[in-house]
Amino acid sequence: MTTDPYPDLFEELVRRRRLGERSVLATVVRVQGSTPREAGARMLLLGDGGIRGTVGGGAREADVIAAARELLARGGSRLLAIDFGEGLRGGEGPVCGGTMEVFMERIDPARRAVIVGAGHVGYFLHRHLSLLDFRTTIVDPRPEFASEERFFGATLLCEPFVDGLAKLALTVADAIIIVTPGHQHDREALERALATPAGYVGMIGSKTKVATVFEALRGCGVSDEQLARVHAPIGLDIGAETPAEIAVAIAAEIVAVFRRSGGTR
């Protein structure tokens, strides 16, 4: 197996994931005969169209890049067969003579859910989302609620809601779920959340409460376009009543949003 000439490829992949970007990793998994690269060669297609690494160059690499762009848009994985013997058979393609198989997979961003409010719904939401491979961050100034015992495995920010949100470097791969204990906290947290590029912003509350909070935010200069980002009332309509059921509805809505959009721009 050859050494990839771009040793920072995986570092770039991890960095882009943390920025909330998706990319496609192409790896040569099998070669036969004469080919420009050996098994183990890799190429990374970034969300902004940039390329890191190479699987051989030329027209056949252009085919790999085209296939990778399709995967970037629709997700999934693909095994692509490349023929380097077209020129030897009278065609206009390459004349290396060998064949190559390239496995390509879309790498999605690391998902994180920021739960603003460590009450009953926040507790169950952390449990549900953890099972869905979301990393969770809990923001709540009440130490008796935002505790390791209640939120095992979560990142805890035991400080005022807005202050905690302000400390986080949020990306389009993040979800912000506002389940604070009061209207004033909701308004302040939502205003801060809308200043971030988070891929999902949701706020719990009745239609009356949501309308009241939205009107207050309009008075602070928040536009209707910004408010349209907010999922409120929050969660899919499954007739949920208990905190655990409400958390299921919220988790399902978050999954639906990210599955449709990839959580990226």
pTM score: 0.74
Helices (H), 41-150: 58-74, 120-131
Distance of CA 33 to the CA centre of its chain: 39
Look at the block and give the residue holding tokens 């507790």. Answer: 123
Instruction: Note down pLDDT in tens along the chain; length 265 residues.
Output: 444 444 588 899 988 888 878 899 999 999 898 888 889 999 999 988 899 999 887 788 899 999 999 998 888 899 999 887 665 444 555 556 788 899 999 998 878 999 999 999 999 999 999 999 899 999 999 999 999 999 999 999 999 999 999 999 898 889 999 999 877 888 999 999 999 999 999 999 999 999 999 999 999 999 999 999 999 989 999 999 999 999 999 999 999 998 876 444 3
Q: What is the DSSP letter of 183?
A: H
Token pair for 183: 């209207």
Token pair for 225: 């376009």
Identify the pLDDT of residue 56.
82
Consecutive H or E run containing 255: helix 243-261
Consecutive H or E run containing 13: helix 9-18
Residues 166-204: tens digit of each pLDDT: 999 898 889 999 999 877 888 999 999 999 999 999 999
Length of the chain: 265
CA-to-CA separations, 176 to 3, 160, 161, in angstroms, rounded: 41, 15, 12
State the CB neighbour count (10 A cutoff) for residue 74.
Answer: 9
For helices 207-219 and 183-193, the axis angle rounded to 10 degrees is 60
Strand partners, 53: 43
Residues 6 or more apart in contact with residue 170 via CB below 8 angstroms = 114, 176, 196, 197, 198
φ, ψ of residue 78 in degrees (nearest 5): -160, 145
Identify the pLDDT of residue 132.
92
Segments making up each domain of the chain, as ranges = 9-107, 112-261
CATH number (3.40.190.10, 1.10.10.10, 3.40.50.300, 3.40.50.720) of 112-261 reads 3.40.50.720
CB 69 within 8 A of CB 51: no
Consecutive H or E run containing 161: helix 161-166
Residues 6 or more apart in contact with residue 151 via CB below 8 angstroms = 118, 123, 126, 136, 138
Residues 6 or more apart in contact with residue 155 via CB below 8 angstroms = 135, 136, 137, 138
Identify the pLDDT of residue 3.
45
CA distance 175 to 167: 15
